[in-house]
């Protein structure tokens, strides 16, 4: 657990050395957006990204993940983790990963997620560009990012790598690092502090005030109907959320029609059938039938239901849902502010 | 870090998938109604199967999927266990296509069942509507098998019409039995029906239930509200009312999110809750 310095010139070769030794996933440019992808070369890496379209949860919890395979009556597990370095994770996504870690570990440990999580070294990085809908500096600020193995900060002339775990330390041998000076450590601290307070959106209320008021507003049907009025029930807000982890499970057959695989797919609680069960004669009982009750459910999950378990809200302020929402009604800052202002 | 990009976790036995099912062999089947099939099962691996009344199983057929099913027999009946599956969708159709000698996959037991310890020594009323009789049958059998541990035992069972009534043999036995006060009703009679007609709450006007009674309810969502209104009128404490909830428990292990009510997962925090626990949770009842 040390503070190391590497020059800008030596940084590229360090990334290439990691790529040569293991799978490295980091932010890459996709025209005007960014995405986490496997790096072919250090030149792919874009640490100046503002936000990625999908959060890094997809490394451990991919949109489609095989759970078990079968062949006739024989069923076997298929947990096959791949050693991975996840490089360039902003602190708000570190918080999101820490939450999904907790949730997949809680009660029944889910090794289809945890095995890949344990096989991954997470290198967080400082925020060099801020996305237009971000509000990570004003939501859940009492929750500290943790669970990452190292933190990389770009400072004048190079990078400071602060290692947090043995897995983080193991990376040092791959690059031309030297011990950081007190001045470099201080410079990194200032870089990370300077970004706070610069988000374009701001939530003006404390976690507890939001949790209490949003919880109380459950029965204010008219307000929720208004807030959700233009919801298409598409679930885009769920899909891009770093703390959403709902899934559906479905089986598929191989061509031999004897063997196949059971797979989980990302699911979304905003979609129409999410809480529906089929009853007698094909009748449906939908426990959240109206789109406003599904919209409300998501906000309850993000601002109040899980707070006790997670130690804070299940929203990290990345602003991805605000961007992804077709009708532009998902923005947590706007929704929460509306709810808060209704009472005051 | 290895160069072949595979991760050696050593023994996988402790880190096995939650979704790996066991196999259960079908020993016996019957068709109590047009749409329901009753299976008697035994674990194929010969290992013990330990469960509590009211717990659920994810029952499935590989290639089709799994559905949550309440265990329909008591752990006091050793060696085998029962489930009843109603044909409603793809998975239940696949399960009900299986017969004696075939196997089904099962994961579980899952969740919290009926609080037998809290019922012991007390008067117990079980209110079962429709297919809700299946999970409660695990408790009914349990009480009847350890009858001296419980006080007065009353069972209310209702179905839409006489053709939907389940467990014919059991009902013949219950009707004649001195250890259970059994009352049944149908919403709509047919020409052969000579018993009670009316929804389940009408039975409360025919049988005296003391305010100290512990009550277990399982049935279609619409039934809960009416039954609870009757129990309120009787002065039964909401701590003493146990509700067995139905939800879309897809994973059964508190992950997939489909059965969430507020911060609870019906599959692991339930499916049995006291009414006091969930009455303030919107969307529960």
Q: Which residue has the tokens 């997809």?
A: A58
The predicted model gives B147-175 an average pLDDT of 95
**Do both B91 and B200 map to the same domain?**
no
Residues 230-269 of B with CB under 8 A from A: 246-248, 250-251, 253-263, 268
Q: Are residues B239 and B154 in the same domain?
A: yes
Would you state the pLDDT for residue B5?
A: 36
Q: What is the ipTM of this complex?
A: 0.89
Residue B264 has pLDDT above 50, yes or no: yes
Q: From the list A106, A253, A282, which residue is nearest B63 (CB)? A: A253
* Coil vs helix vs strand at A241: coil
Q: How far apart, in whole angstroms, are the C-alpha atoms of residue A308 and residue A190?
A: 32
Please give the average per-residue pLDDT across A40-55, as a whole number. 97
Q: Do B235 and B122 share a structural domain?
A: yes
Q: What CATH code is carried by the domain that includes residue B239? A: 3.40.50.80
Cα separation of A101 and A103, whole Å?
A: 6
* Mean pLDDT of the region A68-95: 96
Q: Among B90, B109, B128, give the residue marking a domain's end.
A: B109
pLDDT digits (tens, 9 = 90+) for A84-140: 999 999 999 999 999 999 999 999 999 999 999 999 999 999 999 999 999 999 999
Tell me if chain A has a CB within 8 Å of the CB of B8: no
Closest by CA to B214, choosing from B276, B148, B159, B271, is B276
Same-domain status, B129 and B229: yes
Selecting from A111, A248, A287 the residue whose C-beta is nearest the C-beta of B283 gives A287
Report, as an integer, the average pLDDT of B228-240: 96
Q: Give me the residues of B, 18-77, that contact A with CB < 8 A.
A: 18-21, 23, 35, 62-66
User: Is the pLDDT reported for residue B7 higher than 50?
Assistant: no
Provide the pLDDT for residue B283.
76
Show which of B89, B109, B129 is a domain's final residue: B109
Asked whether residue B143 falls in the same domain as residue B69, the answer is: no
User: Could you tell me if B45 and B124 lie in one domain?
Assistant: no
List, in sequence order, the alpha helices (H) in chain A: 8-21, 91-105, 111-118, 166-169, 182-194, 207-216, 221-227, 236-239, 291-300, 307-310, 320-324, 332-343
Phi, psi of A266 (to 5 degrees): -55, 135
Task: Tell me the mean pLDDT in the region B249-256.
Answer: 92
The pLDDT-based confidence of B14 (bands split at 50, 70, 90) is: low
Q: What is the pLDDT of residues A224-240, one digit of tens each?
A: 999 999 999 999 999 99
Identify whether the C-beta of residue A86 lies closer than 8 Å to the C-beta of residue A52.
Answer: no
Q: What is the pTM of this model?
A: 0.92
In a domain, B270, yes or no: no
Q: Is residue B103 part of a domain?
A: yes
In this predicted structure, the answer to whether residue A302 has a pLDDT above a threshold of 60 is yes
Neighbours of B54 (CB within 10 A): 26
Show the tokens assigned to B182: 């059994």
Identify whether B261 is part of a domain: no
Q: Are residues B99 and B152 in the same domain?
A: no
Total of domains in chain B: 2
Same domain for B185 and B138: yes
The greatest distance separating any two alpha carbons of chain B, rounded to the nearest whole angstrom, comes to: 77
Per-state percent for chain B, helix, strand, coil, to nearest 5: 25, 30, 45
Residue B141 placed within a domain: yes
Residues 193-232 of chain B whose Cβ lies under 8 A from any Cβ of chain A: 220-221
In a domain, B220, yes or no: yes
Q: Is A106 exposed, middle or buried (0-12, 13-18, 19+ CB in 10 A)?
A: middle
Measured in angstroms, the CA of A277 and the nearest CA of chain B are apart by 6
Q: Please tell me the least confidently modeled range out of A164-168, A261-265, B12-16, B148-152.
A: B12-16
- The pLDDT, as a whole number, for residue B1 is 34
Same domain membership, residue B210 and residue B150: yes
Q: Which domain holds residue B28?
A: 13-109
| Minimum CA–CA partner of B22 in chain A | A75
Q: Which residue of B has its CA nearest to A173?
A: B1
Lowest mean pLDDT among A31-45, A46-60, B251-265: B251-265
User: Is residue B2 very low, low, confident or very high in pLDDT (cuts 50, 70, 90)?
Assistant: very low
User: Which CATH number goes with the domain that contains B85?
Assistant: 2.40.30.10
Domain presence at residue B225: yes
Q: Which of B109, B128, B147 is the last residue of a domain?
A: B109
pLDDT at B6 over 90: no
**B149 close contact with A: CB closer than 8 A:** no
- Give the pLDDT mean for B182-199: 95
Q: Note whether B129 and B233 are same-domain residues.
A: yes
Classify residue A126 as exposed, middle or buried by CB count within 10 Å of its CB (0-12, 13-18, 19+).
buried
Phi, then psi, of B162 in degrees rounded to 5: -60, -30
In the block, tokens 């899909």 appear at: A239
Is the same domain home to B224 and B139? yes
Token representation of residue B87:
């044909």
**Which of A73, A119, A277 is nearest residue B7 as measured by Cβ atoms?**
A119
Longest dimension (CA), chain A: 73
Q: How far apart are CA A10 and CA A13, in angstroms?
A: 6
Q: Confirm whether B37 is domain-assigned.
A: yes
B126 domain residue, yes or no: yes
The pLDDT assigned to B10 comes to: 42
Minimal CA separation from A260 to chain B, in Å:
7
Q: Are residues B84 and B162 in the same domain?
A: no
Sheet holding B124-129, edge to edge: B196-197, B181-186, B153-159, B124-129, B214-218, B241-244, B272-274
Kind plus residue range of the DSSP H or E element containing B70: strand B65-70
In this prediction, residue B13 carries a pLDDT of 45
DSSP string, B135-180: HHHHHHHHHHHTGGGSS-EEEEEEESSGGG---HHHHHHHHH-SS-
Question: Nearest-CA distance from A309 to chain B in Å?
Answer: 9
């Amino acid at each position: 657990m040390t503070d190391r310095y590497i020059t800008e010139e030596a940084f590229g070769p360090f990334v290439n050395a990691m790529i040569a030794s293991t799978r490295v996933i980091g932010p890459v440019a996709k025209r005007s957006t960014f995405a986490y992808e496997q790096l072919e070369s250090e030149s792919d890496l874009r640490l100046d990204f503002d936000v990625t379209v999908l959060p890094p949860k997809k490394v451990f919890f991919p949109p489609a993940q095989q759970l078990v395979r079968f062949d006739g009556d024989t069923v076997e597990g298929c947990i096959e983790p791949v050693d991975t370095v996840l490089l360039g994770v902003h602190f708000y996504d570190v918080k999101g990963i820490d939450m999904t870690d907790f949730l997949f570990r809680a009660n029944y440990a889910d090794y289809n997620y945890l095995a890949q999580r344990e096989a991954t070294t997470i290198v967080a990085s400082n925020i060099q560009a801020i996305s237009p809908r971000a509000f990570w500096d004003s939501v859940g600020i009492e929750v500290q990012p943790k669970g990452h193995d190292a933190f990389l900060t770009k400072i004048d002339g190079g990078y400071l790598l602060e290692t947090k775990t043995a897995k983080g330390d193991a990376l040092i041998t791959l690059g031309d690092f030297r011990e950081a000076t007190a001045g470099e450590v201080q410079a990194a601290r200032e870089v990370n502090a300077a970004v706070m307070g610069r988000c374009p959106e701001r939530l003006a209320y404390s976690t507890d005030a939001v949790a209490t008021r949003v919880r109380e507003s459950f029965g204010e049907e008219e307000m929720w109907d208004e807030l959700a009025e233009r919801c298409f029930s598409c679930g885009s807000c769920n899909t891009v959320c770093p703390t959403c982890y709902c899934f559906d499970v479905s089986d598929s057959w191989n061509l031999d029609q004897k063997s196949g695989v059971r797979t989980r797919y990302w699911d979304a609680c905003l979609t129409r059938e999410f809480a529906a069960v089929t009853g007698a004669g094909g009748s449906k009982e939908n426990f959240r039938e109206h789109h406003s009750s599904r919209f409300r459910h998501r906000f309850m999950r993000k601002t109040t239901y899980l707070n006790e378990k997670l130690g804070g809200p299940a929203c990290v302020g990345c602003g991805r849902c605000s961007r992804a929402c077709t009708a532009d009604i998902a923005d947590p800052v706007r929704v929460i502010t509306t709810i808060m202002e209704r009472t005051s | 870090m290895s160069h072949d990009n595979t991760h050696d976790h050593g023994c996988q036995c402790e880190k096995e998938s939650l979704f790996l099912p066991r196999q259960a062999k079908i020993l016996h089947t019957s068709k109590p109604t047009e749409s329901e099939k009753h299976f008697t099962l035994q674990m194929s691996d010969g290992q013990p199967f330990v469960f509590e009344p009211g717990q659920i199983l994810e029952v499935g057929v590989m290639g089709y999927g799994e559905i949550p099913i309440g265990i329909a027999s008591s752990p006091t009946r050793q060696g085998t266990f029962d489930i009843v599956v109603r044909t409603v969708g793809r998975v239940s159709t696949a399960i009900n296509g299986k017969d004696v000698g075939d196997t089904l996959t099962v994961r579980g037991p899952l969740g919290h069942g009926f609080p037998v310890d809290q019922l012991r020594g007390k008067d117990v009323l079980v209110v079962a509507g429709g297919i809700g009789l299946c999970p409660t049958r695990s408790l009914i059998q349990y009480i009847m098998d350890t009858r001296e541990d419980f006080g007065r035992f009353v069972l209310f069972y209702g179905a839409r019409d006489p053709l939907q009534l389940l467990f014919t043999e059991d009902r013949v036995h219950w009707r004649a039995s001195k250890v259970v006060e059994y009352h049944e009703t149908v919403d709509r009679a047919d020409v052969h029906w000579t018993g009670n007609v009316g929804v389940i709450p009408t039975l409360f006007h025919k049988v005296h239930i003391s305010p100290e009674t512990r009550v277990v309810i399982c049935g279609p969502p619409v039934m809960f509200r009416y039954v609870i209104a009757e129990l309120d009128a009787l002065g039964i404490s909401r701590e003493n009312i146990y509700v067995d909830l139905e939800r879309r428990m897809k994973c059964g292990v508190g992950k997939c999110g489909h059965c969430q009510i507020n911060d609870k997962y019906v599959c692991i925090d339930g499916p049995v809750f006291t009414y006091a626990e969930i009455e303030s949770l919107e969307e529960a009842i």
